[in-house]
A and B are shown apart, each in its own frame.
Chain A
Amino acid sequence: MIRITDVTLTTLDLYDAKPELLRKMCEHLLEAEVDFIELSVPVYLKTGPLPRGGKYILRINDPLEAINYLEFNNFICRHNGYDRSPSIINEIQVNDMREINSLTQFSKLENVRLTGLDDILNHDYISLFERITKNISGRIELCPENRYYSATGIAVEWILNGGTDIVASFVGSGGFAPLEEVLLALRICKRHKPNLDLSVLQELKELYVEITGKEIYSHKAVIGEDIFDMEAGIHVNGIAKSPKMYEPYEPEIVGNSRKLIIGKHSGTSAIVFKCRELGLKLPKGLERKLLIMVQRYSIKKQASLNDEEFRMIYCKLMEDV
């Protein structure tokens, strides 16, 4: 069994988000079938009643605060680590791999979240994972931090090596493993929920942008707007024959679509496809000529062409012949 906890909402403490947007984010996270949604107290107070059907975890500063929130069954708390209440997840920060040896002091806790471990992949991580599970007998959630750009790799390896619980956040908000990457990686490498429609990731992206005002890089793994664009002749040709050739998964799975871009790296087959797409009749033998004109224009522009520019170049060619 794999259980994923999403902590995006906890990381949105500082944003003045409207309650309906926060609720919407909960709903979308549930659609993405995350198992638990974590919220901080300020976000919870702002959000109000949470969407039904979800399992929520409230982040508190002291185990004694739990009594104030009877509507919650699960809490996470960073404290002295000796509260053995099953409803409390004890969060322990691990900054150095040598600290793994001292985890034995928490061996009797029922729920533990290990946060940090950002450079574990630089070490013998498989042995370290084994040592973690040996030192703690309860349920262990791994919450890798992304300081070394390896959090997704750590989360995936934890699962592939027998771990069951991981923590992530959308777009890696707050410096954790990006949820969207973890979901796709587990789908491909572990066949975890292989039929789940993840097009909701696009809606989550829009919400995240609206709440934080941050832009998402257009080539961001899994959710970037342009990740299924294709320009290079070799790729256009390959994808036309079989998308599997140059795509690790179908764009529709994540609510995206392929776009044919025309530019410096296009080949003649891309030119032919584009003409067909725009309803332009290109007489045989002119493909190469049009390609050269397109490439020159693209180099001058230092970018690819939009459809209008392509049409203009096509018309110019047709006037000349």
Chain B
Amino acid sequence: MVETKRQQAGPARETGSMKNEMALEFDAVSSNESFARVAVAAFIAPLNPTVEELSDIKTAVSEAVTNAIIHGYENVYGYGRHGEVRPVYCRIREGKVYLRCRIENGVLHIEVEDRGVGIENLEKAMEPLYTTKPELERSGMGFAFMEAFMDDLEVESQPLKGTIVRMQKKLQCGSWIYGGE
């Protein structure tokens, strides 16, 4: 459905020349996970992405931001330790998550940064199913999903300094739509 709509909107777009940037800074709390992915979805809406593209990008953003919150800052809102019925909520590190997006030549660049604990063993962390927080029922699929759903993934991390996740995705349409249909 979206596919055909985009075709029809053909004459109204200008190919690839538009540039657009945004940056957000928000507290590292779990309720901001949905805020972050909805913000990115709204940011790329003028590019008229397909349902698949939108869903891929939202998932990747959600993974990166969740990682920053629960691993970077260890702000844990999760299901309790073994045998405990109540969820545990503890904020170990106050901090902000920095989200930057850029659209250039039809490519979406996303950067998610935290200034938390950093990743000790990046190679291990990127392995599918590997998690340092099994007690929170983390599946260990975060980086695997980011890799699968985006075209390019780059992770830069320094222990005790923080982590930056950079992702890229070429949007099929890669063009800017002005006004309505």
Partners in one complex: no
A residues sitting closer than 8 Å to B (CB atoms) are none
Instruction: Please report B residues at the A interface, Cβ cutoff 8 Å.
Output: none
